[in-house]
């Protein structure tokens, strides 16, 4: 709008000019106010919900994590209960808990293996489905995506049946050729969980990547082909660099998802003695809250978990962001 | 995508990460200060009851038919890994617990810690004391307060596949030494006598109880905890030896793989409790007629030391809207002869009530046990349970600690004794952390 007015300069008398400059400006400020009001009306519900469902619980968790319960009364039973300020004692306790820290180490190892594997797999599937011209593409796309539609708990139960000895056909088949498979031992159970997560989320990440591939203008491919690039070269030098933002995005989501690992170990826990109550940090916080009945310690652990997730996600973005700049 | 958009996404991603804080912090204290009401004559009310006992619907249906004014609604809760208690504790914290709940003896004190249960003594619960077997009534009595109405106990015994024991020429073990010999013999036949489930703290405490352990005591207003005592060490050493010699499996019990092993005879025995009959019948129907029950093996030949695994109560939650009616229902459920008959049919364990049944009523699955009057075994065991055993607060945490430590011990080869030392220390810290006075027993 402003560019339009500028392009049509009109000779003006000073008086008129004064009026003109005053007029539009007043009009502009009035529309501005109206716009601001409208914008506020649109944005307010978001901020209200954001504050209610996001900021308030975080604030509450932070608050909870700084307190502890004190009991009086005979043997502490049926007496008075009081919340007293504990400072950072809950954090100190969480950080000195071996099981909680081991859980972090475990999910980090999990992520270091599972995330690259899943993203490479998702990228490969996305590239293959995008370059194929066969009719079955929509079918395969849905088929790969389907596991994402299965809730994590159900997926874990399903895979549980394939893991439990005595029931699992896989263990049976392997056993019949003399291979003693144990999916649920201390050493293997983490990777059995990784398999469930990979099965569930590869298709989802593939779809994100496909969406970005679709956004690439066709002329680029055409130009590449005219330049004599083969399919592999197009993928390597054109497609993968172009879907970089989507790869970064799926990477960040996966990092956060990994730290939140909960449903899968929770469901497999009764089946596998090798999964302890603090197998992942999230499971540890759950046990603290609902078995130990100690919401304050659990809140501190949840806050720590969120902090680590933030550090890792931003760290990852810094890392990949930095590389972009070098190249640019 | 611009870097700005990226940042926004990350912030939202971080939001997802904080969702962990969400679920934990989501529940408020919800102290609405509502005083319990008294039901007016003729007023129709409804009470909610959380339970997982198989067949509990039937006695409740009977109550609903005979008590049109006070309708009870059963909501089934999962008993896997103590999830029912997690749910109850969370509901108490959130201020919306049910009116009544099924709570096992060991965890009653844990609920008292968060003031979750109603003291039934002022409502006249004391009048009903005589209807129940004395020590079970005492399990939920603290000081002058009565916190729950006992429902059933679980005297322990040994279930075994008589046909396989006969075929393999293994005598039924009467002592733990004989049990070990039997385990060796069974292993030679390619099976494992049973499993030592590292995460089953319930059974382990029962075995310690039989050996004469006393994990909890009180002195003034101080809790005395003594997990690492001589009897418990003996039990730990014994099972460690079986595990290390690979004479028992270490898979979790009462799970699919275990049921499968029971069905196929890969595991021909189970140190279980009276309510185990329903589990066997339900999960290994193909082995009908082949099972028998035997007394729990003894540490010394000829002794009569028994213990209890599980056993539960019907408790009234502190926020119950009509406490008087809830108490009436709890007492009726656990003393009315018709109700007891229906509960026995459902397989709920050994009645806590003194009257209203005979041991033959309890032989519900006689055919499954080849016609054996197997409940006599458990009745005898029940009569010889060391009734001085007491539970303390935080038993659910204790079980979890034990499970974690046994799991570690199985993986890294550390001794079962070190498990006891470790969990003893952790338990002291846990109870201190809950604001209780606590000491280590000597």
Measured in angstroms, the CA of B56 and the nearest CA of chain A are apart by 24
Q: What is the pTM of this model?
A: 0.84
Q: Is B253 on the interface with A (CB under 8 A)?
A: no
- B435: tokens are 């604001």
CB contact under 8 Å between B13 and A93, yes or no, is no
Per-residue confidence (pLDDT) for residue B37, from 0 to 100:
64
The distance of A134 to chain B (nearest Cα, Å) reads 30
**Residue A244: is its pLDDT beyond 60?**
yes
Quick one: pLDDT at residue B205? 97
Contact present, A316 and B6 (Cβ < 8 Å): no
pLDDT in tens, A135-189: 788 888 899 999 999 999 999 999 999 999 888 999 999 999 999 889 999 889 9
CA distance A77 to chain B (A): 5
pLDDT on residue B240: 98
Count Cα neighbours of B300 within 13 Å in the Cβ-side half-sphere: 6
B414 — contact with chain A (CB < 8 Å)?
A: no
Q: What pLDDT score was predicted for residue B310?
A: 85
Model confidence at A70: pLDDT above 90: no
Low-confidence ranges of chain B (pLDDT < 70): 1-37
Are B21 and A69 a contacting pair at CB < 8 A? no
The per-residue pLDDT for B35 is 53
Q: How many CA atoms lie within 13 A of B422 on its CB side?
A: 18
Task: Provide DSSP, A81-120.
Answer: EEEEE-TTHHHHHHHT-HHHHHHHHHHHHHHHHHHHHHHH
pLDDT, average across residues A242-249:
93
* Amino acid A30: pLDDT: 73
Closest CA to B295 of B156, B153, B154: B156
Compute CA distances B187 → B13, B235, B267, B340, whole Å: 54, 21, 10, 41
User: Is B89–A310 a contact, with Cβ atoms under 8 angstroms apart?
Assistant: no
- The answer to whether A78 contacts B433, with C-beta atoms less than 8 Å apart, is no
Q: Average pLDDT, whole number, for chain A?
A: 86
* Cα angle B84-B309-B72, degrees, rounded to a multiple of 5: 40
Of B17, B82, B264, the CB nearest to A256: B17
pLDDT at A1: 41
Q: Which B residues, 216 through 245, put their C-beta within 8 Å of a C-beta on chain A?
A: 218, 221-223
Q: Tell me the per-residue pLDDT of B171-227, one tens digit each, with 9 for 90 and over.
A: 999 999 999 999 999 999 999 999 999 999 999 999 999 999 999 998 888 899 999
Q: Please indicate whether, in this complex, the C-beta atoms of A166 and B257 are within 8 angstroms of each other.
A: yes
Comparing CB atoms, the residue among B89, B221, B394 nearest residue A75 is B221
Give pLDDT, residue A32. Answer: 79
Whose structure tokens read 């041991």? B359
CA distance to partner chain A, nearest, from residue B121 (Å): 13
At residue A260, the pLDDT reads 92
Q: What is the pLDDT of residue A4?
A: 43
B147: nearest Cα among B322, B336, B326, B343: B326
**Which of A78, A153, A170, A211 would best serve as a mutation to test chain B binding (most B beta carbons within 10 A)?**
A78
Residue A131 confidence (pLDDT) above 70: yes
Spatial distance between the Cα atoms of B380 and B160, rounded to a whole number of angstroms? 18
Nearest-CB residue to A306 (from B20, B81, B109): B20
Q: How close B390 gets to chain A, by Cα (Å)?
A: 14
pLDDT of residue A322: 58
Q: Which residue of B has its CA nearest to A166?
A: B257
Q: What is the pLDDT of residue A231?
A: 85
Q: Which of B21, B142, B402 to mutate to test the interface with A (most CBs of A within 10 A)?
A: B21
Report the pLDDT averaged over residues A66-94.
Answer: 84
- Going by the DSSP 8-state scheme, the letter that residue A122 receives in this structure is H
Residue of A146 and A273 predicted with greater confidence: A146
> What residues contact B426, with CB distance under 8 A and at least 6 apart?
B401
For B276-307, the pLDDT digits (tens) are 998 999 999 999 999 999 999 999 999 999 99
A-chain residues within 8 Å CB-CB of B436?
71, 75-76
What are the structure tokens assigned to A219, written together? Answer: 């002329």
Instruction: Give the gap in angstroms from C-alpha A74 to the nearest C-alpha of chain B.
Output: 5
| Residue pLDDT, tens place only, A10-31 | 444 444 444 444 545 555 667 7
Across the interface, whether the CB atoms of B21 and A256 are under 8 A apart is answered: no
A-chain residues near B403 (CB < 8 A): 273, 276-277
Give me the residue from A75, A164, A270 closest to B223, CB to CB: A75
Q: Does B18 touch chain A (CB under 8 A)?
A: yes
pLDDT value of position A232: 87
The pLDDT of residue A5: 41
pLDDT of amino acid B143: 81
The ipTM is 0.81
A 49-108 → B contacts, CB under 8 A: 54, 57-58, 60-61, 64, 68-71, 74-78, 81, 93, 99
Contacts with B256 from chain A: Cβ below 8 Å: 161, 164, 166-167, 271
């Amino acid at each position: 709008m402003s560019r339009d007015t500028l392009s049509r300069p009109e000779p003006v008398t000073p008086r008129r000019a004064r009026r003109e400059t005053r007029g539009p400006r007043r009009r502009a400020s009035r529309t501005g106010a109206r716009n601001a009001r409208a914008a506020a009306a649109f944005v307010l519900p978001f901020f209200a919900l954001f504050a209610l469902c996001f900021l308030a619980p975080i604030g509450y968790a932070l608050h909870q994590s700084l307190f502890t319960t004190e009991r009086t009364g005979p043997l502490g039973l049926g007496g008075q209960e009081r919340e007293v300020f504990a400072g950072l004692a809950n954090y100190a306790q969480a950080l000195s808990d071996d099981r909680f820290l081991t859980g972090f180490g475990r999910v980090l190892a999990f992520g270091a293996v599972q995330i690259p594997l899943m993203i490479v797999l998702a990228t490969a599937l996305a590239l293959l489905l995008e370059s194929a011209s066969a009719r079955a593409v929509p079918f395969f796309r849905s088929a790969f995506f389907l596991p994402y539609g299965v809730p994590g708990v159900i997926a874990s139960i399903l895979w549980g049946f394939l893991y439990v000895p005595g029931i699992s056909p896989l263990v049976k088949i392997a056993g019949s050729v003399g291979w003693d498979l144990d999916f649920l031992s201390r050493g293997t159970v983490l990777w059995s969980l990784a398999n469930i997560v990979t099965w569930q989320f590869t298709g989802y990440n593939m779809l994100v990547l496909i969406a970005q591939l679709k956004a690439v203008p066709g002329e680029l491919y055409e130009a590449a082909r005219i330049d004599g690039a083969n399919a592999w070269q197009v993928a390597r030098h054109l497609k993968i660099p172009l879907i970089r933002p989507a790869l970064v995005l799926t990477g960040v989501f996966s990092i956060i998802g990994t730290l939140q690992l909960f449903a899968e170990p929770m469901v497999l826990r009764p089946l596998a003695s090798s999964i302890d109550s603090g197998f992942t940090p999230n499971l540890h916080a759950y046990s603290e809250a609902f078995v130990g009945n100690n919401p304050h310690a659990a809140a501190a652990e949840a806050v720590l978990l969120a902090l680590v997730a933030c550090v890792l996600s931003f760290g990852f973005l810094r890392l990949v962001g930095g590389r972009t700049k070098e190249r640019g | 995508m611009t870097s700005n958009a990226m940042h926004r996404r990350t912030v939202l991603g971080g939001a997802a990460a904080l969702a962990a804080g969400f679920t934990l912090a989501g529940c408020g204290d919800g102290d609405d200060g509502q005083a319990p009401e008294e039901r007016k004559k003729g007023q129709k009310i409804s009470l909610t009851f959380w339970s997982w006992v198989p067949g509990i619907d039937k006695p409740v249906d009977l109550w609903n038919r005979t008590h049109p004014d006070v309708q009870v609604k059963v909501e089934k809760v999962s008993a896997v890994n103590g999830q029912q208690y997690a749910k109850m504790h969370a509901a108490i914290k959130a201020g919306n617990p049910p009116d009544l709940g099924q709570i096992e003896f060991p965890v009653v004190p844990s609920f008292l810690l968060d003031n979750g249960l109603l003291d039934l003594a002022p409502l006249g619960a004391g009048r009903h004391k005589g209807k129940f077997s004395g020590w079970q009534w005492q399990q939920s009595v603290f000081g002058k307060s009565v916190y729950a109405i006992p429902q059933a106990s679980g005297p322990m015994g040994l279930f075994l596949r008589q046909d396989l024991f006969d075929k393999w020429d293994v005598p039924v073990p009467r002592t733990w030494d004989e049990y070990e010999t039997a385990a060796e013999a069974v292993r030679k036949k390619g099976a494992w006598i049973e499993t030592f489930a590292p995460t089953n703290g319930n059974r382990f405490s029962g075995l310690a109880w039989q050996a004469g352990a006393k994990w909890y005591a009180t002195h003034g207003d101080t809790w005395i905890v003594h997990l690492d005592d001589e009897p418990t060490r003996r039990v730990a050493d014994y099972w460690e030896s079986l595990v290390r010699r690979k004479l028992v499996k270490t898979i979790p019990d009462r799970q699919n793989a275990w049921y499968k092993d029971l069905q196929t005879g890969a595991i021909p025995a189970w140190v279980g409790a009276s309510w185990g009959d329903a589990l066997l019948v339900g999960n290994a129907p193909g082995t009908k007629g082949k099972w028998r029950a035997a007394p729990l093996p003894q540490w010394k030949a000829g002794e009569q030391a028994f213990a209890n695994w599980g056993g539960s109560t019907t408790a009234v939650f502190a926020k119950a809207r009509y406490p008087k009616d809830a108490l009436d229902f709890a007492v009726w459920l656990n003393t009315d002869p018709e109700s007891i008959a229906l509960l026995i049919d459902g397989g709920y364990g050994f009645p806590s009530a003194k009257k209203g049944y005979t041991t033959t009523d309890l032989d519900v699955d006689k055919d499954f046990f080849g016609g054996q009057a197997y409940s006599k075994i458990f009745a005898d065991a029940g009569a010889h349970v060391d009734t001085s055993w007491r539970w303390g607060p935080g038993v659910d945490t204790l079980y979890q600690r034990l499970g974690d430590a046994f799991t570690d011990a199985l993986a890294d080869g550390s001794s079962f004794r070190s498990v006891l030392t470790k969990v003893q220390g952790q338990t002291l810290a846990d109870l201190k952390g809950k604001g209780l006075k606590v000491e280590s027993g000597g």
